Structure 1
Amino acid sequence: MKKNGPGVVSPESDYGPRPAVHHRSPASLLSAPRAAVFDLLVAQPEPCTVAALARLIHQHPNTVREHLDGLVESGLVERTRSRSTGRGRPAWLYAAVEGEDNPGAREYAGLASALAAQLARTSD
């Protein structure tokens, strides 16, 4: 490890690449209005319709629907059909995806597991 003065370590150390900068949650990468819709959806105990979310956030349903579509595309929210209760099409229900704060976390976890298994097999 190379030191460039008191307590300053050069990036050319013997420990490999520098650790990644702390990851921000995907919700922090959203616009303020979209993050507000996401936060409201996270706080709900069960999936919600566009109309219910629009009433809670005091926005037009078309505005809320646009934000929800963006959240679905980004993988932060899932959309399912409600059960049919009569005439007409059933409403869409929206729910925040639980578990991962990082959409790519599952792939990295699989890679880390494979690496750990290989190390366990080949090390004493």
Structure 2
Amino acid sequence: MCRYAMSGPYKDTYACFDCRKSFKQTSRHDLAPEVYDRLEFKCPQCAAPMVSMGKDFRAPKQSDLKQWKKVATLYCHGFTYHSCGCGPGYRPAELRELPEFLEKSVHKRSEGERLLLRLVK
């Protein structure tokens, strides 16, 4: 059985790419949908909006700029760490592996998604 299948004390992890920090926040399963939809998760340090990275996200050290760049790039391309507890799937371990990973991943996308990715770069 998947780790998150049974509701438990698991919280969502949000990241601030500016401060290179992550924070656990209330899960959408712990609150009523109308309450959760009104919440804004802002970084406690810089007040910038944080992004939901999923329960399986483990933040790199704050000083590890290459790993934070890798995580931010993955997020910009739609890769987060959301899963049912079985793991989010393969993610490259090093920044230098990222171009090959993204190239392989883009081929699985529709023509429209590939065009959008080229426009965003």
| Common fold: TM-score over 0.5 | no
- TM tier relative to shorter chain: under 0.3
TM-score by length of 2: 0.22
Query: Which structure ranks higher in relative contact order (CA pairs < 8 Å, sequence separation ≥ 6)?
Result: 2
- Greater C-alpha Rg: 1
Q: Which structure carries more helix by proportion?
A: 1
